[in-house]
Amino acid sequence: MPGVSLPRKELFDIPEGVIYLDGNSLGVLPKGAAERAGHVIREEWGKELIRAWNTAEWMALPQKVGDRIAGLIGAPAGSVATGDTLSIKVYQALAAALQMRPDRRVILSDNRNFPTDLYMAEGLIDTIGKGHELRTPAPEDVAAAITEDVAVVMLTQIDYRSGRKYDMAEITRLVHEAGAVMIWDLAHSAGALPVDLEGCGAEFAVGCTYKYLNGGPGAPAFIYVRPDLATQIEPALSGWLGHDAPFAMELNYRPAVSTERMRVGTPSVVQLSILDTALDVWDGVDLVDLRAASLRLSERFIAEVEARCPLLKLATPRDPKIRGSQVSFSFEHGYAAMQALIESGVIGDFRSPDIMRFGFTPLYIDEEDVVAAAKIMEDVLGNELWRDPKYHVKSRVT
């Protein structure tokens, strides 16, 4: 059955006069999400009060939302737990993976990974205090670095700066051949392209839901555990809601007999409710169609920008097979140029040191947007609008 046609702009509240090419960082507001939040706050919390944990099924939300995310990343129902932040989920996955290989001491990642993933690994290594080592070769050297002393390989499938994409199946195969455990960070994959977790056999995957999944700022993260491992791993963060019977209030921790053992504390009900509604936009979407649309948009964007803005250098792989759903250009004055662009109605973002980043979210971006954005870029760069000193003042968040 063919999927619904894209884009589905009518399902989103996109502000007038804005071309939003930053849905890879914070997705736009899906229609119905604000109403859902209002309902949860006013009716469920306001009137039902504590009864709502049962009457409004608040306690079932983390699992319900986890199952919906599972459907988007090639994972079976019951294999995805939600909550906390991605940083926490990275820590949990790493801790569990290291326990699975007690005789090995190396965590392998890459030197382009998102900082928090690497920081969490450093912190965990210090906490464990058994002399583990974090190795971070360049992405192109990772495959050769998967040696038999490696306990766990933790990679972000799509590079947050360049959009470069790893071959999940191939890397996972090499990792398993070396007897190591695989953790995939799907922060820039979930909702951006088809992911086949079950097919690749990775032990763990983690991700966030405020990027391509449009769950809103601070939306809960997710963690996938391969079903055969769910009851074997020992959670490092042994919170009461990962307990087999939280309300038995037992003195000692006894993990849930499922992926739910990766939960920690009280779920963020308002955010989870927003996310639950936000996930409605995926109903009927075929991710193969989504990927095709994404590549059409990024190919067109690259062609338009290269023709119009000769000073920008493509910082994303030209081969569409090895890029995600974003396009980056490097430019010495990228920060100021991005501020000028944003003021002209094209919202992307900047990543240090010189990357101008543009995300393509085929659910609410079309080719007209792409061409219009490139024309505005031509104006901002060709006429050096970015030279205005006001665009050089650094904000806290770039």
> Residue 349, interface with ligand PLP (CB under 6 A)?
no
- Residue 330 binds ligand PLP (CB under 6 A): no
Taking CA atoms, 295 is separated from 137, 173, 362, in Å, by 28, 26, 9
Contact 187, 165 (CB under 8 A): no
Q: Which residues contact 82 (CB under 8 A, 6 or more apart)?
A: 62, 63, 65, 66, 69, 209, 220, 221, 222, 223, 263, 267, 272, 275
H-helix or E-strand containing 135?
strand 133-135
- Minimum Å gap between C-beta 192 and ligand PLP is 11
254 is catalytic: no
Site residues for ligand PLP, 158-177, by CB under 6 A, read: 160
Given 22, 84, 110, 185, which residue is catalytic?
185
Residue closer to ligand PLP by CB (options 218, 382) is 218
Question: What residue type is 347 in one-letter code?
Answer: I
Matching residue, tokens 């590079």: 159
Q: Which stretch binds ligand PLP (CB under 6 A): 109-117, 243-251, 260-268, 321-329?
A: 109-117
What gap in Å lies between CA 56 and CA 363, rounded to an integer?
30
| 185 scored as a contact of ligand PLP (CB under 6 A) | yes
Contact 81, 263 (CB under 8 A): yes
Which one of residues 31, 34, 48, 116 is an interface residue with ligand PLP (CB under 6 A)? 116
Instruction: Say whether 20 is catalytic.
Output: no
Contact 224, 72 (CB under 8 A): no
From the list 85-93, 225-233, 340-348, 352-360, the region that binds ligand PLP by CB under 6 A is 85-93
**Could you identify the residue written with the tokens 């921790």?**
253
Q: Which is nearer to ligand PLP, 175 or 190 (CB)?
A: 190
| Position 79 contacts ligand PLP (CB under 6 A) | no
**Of 7 and 83, which has the nearer Cβ to ligand PLP?**
83
Name the segment binding ligand PLP (CB under 6 A); options: 83-91, 127-135, 263-271, 342-350: 83-91
Cβ atoms within 10 Å, residue 136? 17
The runs of H, that is alpha helices, within 218-366 are 269-278, 287-308, 334-343
Contacts with ligand PLP in 87-106 (CB under 6 A)? 87
Q: Does 86 interact with ligand PLP (rule: CB under 6 A)?
A: yes
Q: How far apart are CA 171 and CA 164, in angstroms?
A: 14
| In the complex, least distance from residue 22 CB atom to ligand PLP, rounded to whole angstroms | 12
Nearest to 102 by CA among 127, 76, 132: 132
Q: What angle do CA 66, 70, 71 make, to 5 degrees?
A: 125
Among 20, 166, 210, 301, the one annotated catalytic: 210
**For residue 348, what are the CA distances in angstroms to 45, 203, 338, 377?**
36, 34, 7, 11
The residue (of 4 and 322) whose beta carbon lies closer to ligand PLP is: 322
CB of 24 to ligand PLP, least distance (A): 9
Query: Which of the following is catalytic: 12, 91, 114, 364?
Result: 114
Active site residue 185: yes
Q: Cβ of residue 127: shortest distance to ligand PLP, in angstroms?
A: 18
Of 56-64, 183-191, 195-203, 316-324: span binding ligand PLP (CB under 6 A):
183-191
Return d(Cα 53, Cα 51) in angstroms, integer. Answer: 5
Question: Is 80 strand, coil or helix?
Answer: strand
**To the nearest whole angstrom, how small is the minimum distance from the Cβ of residue 268 to ligand PLP?**
13
Q: Is position 211 annotated as part of the catalytic site?
A: yes
Q: Which residues bind ligand PLP (CB under 6 A)?
A: 85-87, 114, 116-117, 156, 160, 185, 187-188, 208, 221
